[in-house]
């Protein structure tokens, strides 16, 4: 069995990104959550989630080709 | 660039181009096990040839990762610091946390920020000064200026700009990259020792279990060495200077051996071994006879007496690399010419002239090493012009 590397990458980024985005969304506006003026937890969580989903989409898409 | 006095590293163009550009760079890309190891794991010759070229792309962006945070950290602290409540959010508390006493001391520093505050006032940006481990006082150079601890630039930026949540992710990413680098180097260490030295020369023909046990011992030993190296690294201003010095000792002579072994079929095993040994010795002699300005004899050189002083550690390292490479190159040729050559049949596939050239003309352009190499080269030149 050959593991498509996009599965572990996608799962890791999607799960961590979802965690971070949810945490950032729940704590939105609380003091100390945006040291540079940007709710970075929420934004970066969404970026990671999007990247993870992109990887997972690539991994599932490839399976159909085979 | 024309003379050594006109740039902060204190190295003239020849030392830079030959030392860093040729010997150290080629040594790193062509002989460093961590790089070569990746290519060895490739599933085809064509993929193996592409490996370093693809790796060159993120490597070109390294300066953004290692230099930009330091430059940003120098200027971000310049605006008036806002008093804040969260732990380690003020520079003073962060200094205490990161300067080697995390845990209890950090909490104490938040409550009574008097002593660390004095340190912060005398540093630039949010980079704290280096602390002398013996006295606990900030280090000063021989001109009385504070020595800043640039290794802390990235951690300080993390602490200042990342909130809880992303901070955990950032620290995890840092740790993951340390562990991956450590794992790769430890694997390289026990592989080279067990397979290439122990199995080949010391105890050939033993059982797999025997070599497995030896590999484990080598792993423990390698980690012990790296712990010792970490303490040695603490006396350098930044990790890159120590890294280049190690490369000058190890990779620079190795590169001469590799280059001659691959492109000169007259080179012999005795020549390579003698050249490698004398190249490493030449590095030690050069390093031991020179000293960077303001340093004391010891780990930074000068242990055989000081013949010459270099303006900086890097200038000394570049010339150490040149000395090691040249000595290895000359000695390998000389000894090879004095020893019996190997017949051509034994050298097939090992020496460039006796190896069939890989054909990749029918591959699409983005899989051809020459095309990828050209792209990487153009990008490197463009980046150099951009940040001249």
Q: Where residue B114 falls among pLDDT bands split at 50, 70, 90? A: very low
For the stretch B155-189, pLDDT in tens is 888 888 888 888 999 889 889 988 988 888 888 88
Mean pLDDT of B248-261: 88
Domain ranges of chain A: 6-61
- The values of phi and psi at residue B84, to 5°, are -135, 165
Q: What is the pLDDT of residue B141?
A: 67
Residue B16 in this model has a pLDDT that exceeds 90: no
Q: Do B165 and A23 touch (CB under 8 A)?
A: yes
Going by DSSP bridges, is the β-strand pair B290-292/B308-310 parallel, antiparallel, or unpaired? parallel
Which residues make beta-bridge pairs with B129? B148
- DSSP letter at B296? P
Residues of B in contact with A36 (CB under 8 A): 161
Would you state the pLDDT for residue B333? 92
Instruction: Compute how many other C-beta atoms are within 10 angstroms of the C-beta atom of residue B285.
Output: 16
B348: tokens are: 């097939």
Indicate which of A32, A47, A48, A52 best probes the interface with B, i.e. most B CBs within 10 Å of its own CB: A32
A13, containing H or E segment? helix A6-26
Summarize the confidence of residues B69-74 as an average pLDDT.
Answer: 78
Residue B221 has pLDDT above 90, yes or no: yes
Burial B9-38 (b: 16+ CB within 10 A, else e): bbbbeebbebbbebbbebbbbbbbbebbbe
Which ipTM score applies to this complex?
Answer: 0.83
The DSSP bridge partners found for residue B308 are B290
* % of chain B beyond a pLDDT of 70: 83
Which has more pLDDT, B7 or B241?
Answer: B241
User: Which one, of B179, B308, B336, B317, lies nearest residue B251 by Cα?
Assistant: B317
Cβ contact A21:A50 at 8 Å: no
* Tens-digit pLDDT profile for residues B189-203: 888 889 888 888 888
Question: Hey, which residues 111-170 in chain B have their CB within 8 Å of chain A?
Answer: 160-166, 169
**Is pLDDT above 60 for B62?**
yes
pLDDT of residue B142: 66
| Selected residue with higher pLDDT from A30 and B285 | B285
CA distance B369 to chain A (A): 24
């Amino acid at each position: 069995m050959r593991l498509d590397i996009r599965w572990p990458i996608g799962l890791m980024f999607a799960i961590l990104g979802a965690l971070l985005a949810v945490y950032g969304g729940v704590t939105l506006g609380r003091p100390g959550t945006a040291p540079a003026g940007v709710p970075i937890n929420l934004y970066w969580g969404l970026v990671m989630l999007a990247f993870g989903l992109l990887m997972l989409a690539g991994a599932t898409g490839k399976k159909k080709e085979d | 660039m024309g003379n050594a006095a006109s740039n902060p590293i204190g190295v003239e163009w020849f030392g830079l181009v030959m030392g860093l550009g040729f010997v150290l760079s080629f040594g790193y890309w062509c002989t460093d096990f961590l790089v070569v190891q990746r290519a060895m794991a490739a599933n085809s010759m064509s993929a193996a040839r592409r490996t370093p070229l693809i790796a060159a792309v993120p490597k070109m962006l390294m300066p953004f990762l290692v230099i930009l945070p330091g430059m940003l950290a120098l200027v971000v602290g310049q605006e008036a610091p806002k008093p804040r409540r969260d732990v380690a959010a003020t520079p003073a508390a962060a200094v205490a946390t990161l300067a080697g006493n995390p845990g209890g001391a950090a909490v104490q520093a938040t409550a009574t920020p008097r002593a660390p505050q004095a340190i912060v006032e005398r540093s630039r940006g949010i980079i704290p000064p280096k602390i002398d481990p013996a006295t606990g006082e900030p280090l000063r150079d021989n001109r009385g200026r504070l020595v800043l601890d640039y290794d802390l630039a990235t951690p300080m930026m993390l602490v200042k700009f990342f909130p809880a949540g992303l901070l955990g992710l950032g620290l995890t990413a840092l740790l993951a990259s340390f562990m991956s680098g450590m794992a790769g180097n430890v694997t390289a260490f026990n592989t080279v020792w067990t397979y290439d030295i122990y199995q080949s020369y010391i105890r050939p023909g033993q059982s797999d279990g025997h070599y497995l046990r030896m590999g484990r011992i080598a792993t423990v030993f390698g980690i012990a060495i790296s712990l010792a190296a970490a303490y040695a690294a603490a006396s350098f201003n930044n990790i890159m200077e120590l890294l280049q010095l190690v490369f000058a000792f190890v990779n620079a002579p190795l590169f001469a051996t590799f280059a001659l072994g691959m492109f000169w079929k007259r080179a012999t095993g005795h020549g390579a071994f003698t050249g490698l040994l004398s190249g490493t010795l030449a590095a030690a002699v050069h390093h031991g006879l020179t000293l960077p300005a303001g340093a004391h004899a010891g780990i930074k050189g000068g242990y055989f007496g000081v013949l010459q002083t270099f303006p900086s550690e890097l200038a000394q390292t570049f010339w150490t690399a040149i000395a090691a490479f040249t000595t290895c190159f000359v000695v390998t040729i000389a000894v090879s010419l004095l020893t019996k050559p190997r017949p051509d049949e034994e050298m097939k596939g090992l020496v460039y002239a006796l190896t069939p050239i890989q054909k990749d003309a029918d591959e699409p352009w983005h899989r051809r090493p020459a095309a990828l190499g050209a792209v990487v080269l153009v990008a490197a030149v463009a980046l150099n012009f951009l940040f001249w």
